């Protein structure tokens, strides 16, 4: 309901800003003790990983597939920790080792869960679902932690805001002039005009936020305007792919929303469907252009 959104939205924004502010304020404390930045944000990401795993399990069970909440939760944490720790590995071989170990541990977790039940029926679905939770709730979320290790948390806020601005632009453009359906069999309300409007808005927001980043103290956080504009266009397209992916999950499971934890908005995935997909884009774009 609209009144629930009007309450949940500001509260959610206030929570995120509080976490980001406190996380940034701990940078000096962490550096003095030889610790990596983003410790508070990592703790927040762990909570999100568990919530995402829970919603992935709901999708799987809604589709009639075997799923274990315990295995999915462990897999999500393994994916998040593995992706985050890979940045701290001293060599490229170490990076590969950390990520490969995390992925292998996800599969082993699913197989151990199956062995505990002493029933091989549904073993393939359990293994696949566990890996899906590990990728969605862990690896994709972990890319944002990789960004945090090299940039201020406010860069994350700007990138996520740019991603979500596409949704806003696409909604109002589609409502105003949308005529040509994009994928009617999956998302009947999405139009090509809406997508174009979303890309334009996200490009403008990305460029504008990049211009403001010139005031940041760290050179790593000073994003060129052309990078902001390019990033806005890229996250707009990739973010819509993330939205469509979640739509496919919901249709297959017969669920209207991924959860009910956020009144008026649904579940965590209903809010993070597009940012989860854009994490890798943001990481690699900043990696190639600002470091």
Work out the angle at residue 226's Cα, subtended by the Cα atoms of residues 222 and 232, and round it to the nearest 5 degrees: 95
3-class SS of residue 254:
coil
The dihedrals phi and psi of 191, each to the nearest 5 degrees, come to -130, 160
10-residue averages of pLDDT along the chain (291 residues) = 71 88 92 91 96 96 92 95 84 77 88 76 88 94 94 93 92 87 86 93 96 90 95 96 93 89 88 94 92 61
What is the predicted pLDDT for the residue at 99? 81
Q: How many CB atoms lie within 10 A of CB 139?
A: 25
What is the predicted pLDDT for the residue at 90? 66
What is the predicted pLDDT for the residue at 13? 82
What is the predicted pLDDT for the residue at 291? 61
pTM over the 0.85 mark = yes
Give, as one character, the DSSP assignment of residue 133. H
CA separation for the pair 113, 221 (Å, rounded): 44
What is the predicted pLDDT for the residue at 109? 87
Nearest to 153 by CA among 229, 220, 84: 220
């Amino acid at each position: 309901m609209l009144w629930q959104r009007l309450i949940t939205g500001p509260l959610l924004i206030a929570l995120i800003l509080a976490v980001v502010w406190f996380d940034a304020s701990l940078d000096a404390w962490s550096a003095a003790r030889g610790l990596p930045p983003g410790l508070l944000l990592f703790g927040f990401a762990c909570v999100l990983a568990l919530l995402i795993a829970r919603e992935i399990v709901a999708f799987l069970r809604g589709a009639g597939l075997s799923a274990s909440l315990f295995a999915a939760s462990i897999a999500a944490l393994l994916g998040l920790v593995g992706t985050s720790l890979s940045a701290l590995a001293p060599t490229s071989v170490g990076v590969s080792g950390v990520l490969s170990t995390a992925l292998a541990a996800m599969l082993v977790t699913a197989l151990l869960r199956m062995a505990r039940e002493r029933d091989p029926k549904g073993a393939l679905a359990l293994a696949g679902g566990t890996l899906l939770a590990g990728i969605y709730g862990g690896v994709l979320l972990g890319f944002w932690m990789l960004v945090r290790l090299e940039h201020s948390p406010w860069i994350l806020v700007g990138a996520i805001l740019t991603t979500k601005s596409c949704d806003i632009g696409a909604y109002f453009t589609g409502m105003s002039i949308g005529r040509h359906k994009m994928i009617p069999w999956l998302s009947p309300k999405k139009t090509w005009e809406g997508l174009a409007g979303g890309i334009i808005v996200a490009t403008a927001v990305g460029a504008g936020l990049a211009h403001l980043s010139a005031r940041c103290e760290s050179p790593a956080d000073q994003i060129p305007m052309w990078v902001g504009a390019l990033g806005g266009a890229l996250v707009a397209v990739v973010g819509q792919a993330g939205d469509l992916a979640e739509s496919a999950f919901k249709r297959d499971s017969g669920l209207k929303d991924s959860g009910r934890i956020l009144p008026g908005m649904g579940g965590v995935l209903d809010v993070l469907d597009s940012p989860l997909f854009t994490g890798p884009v943001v990481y690699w774009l900043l990696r190639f252009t600002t470091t």
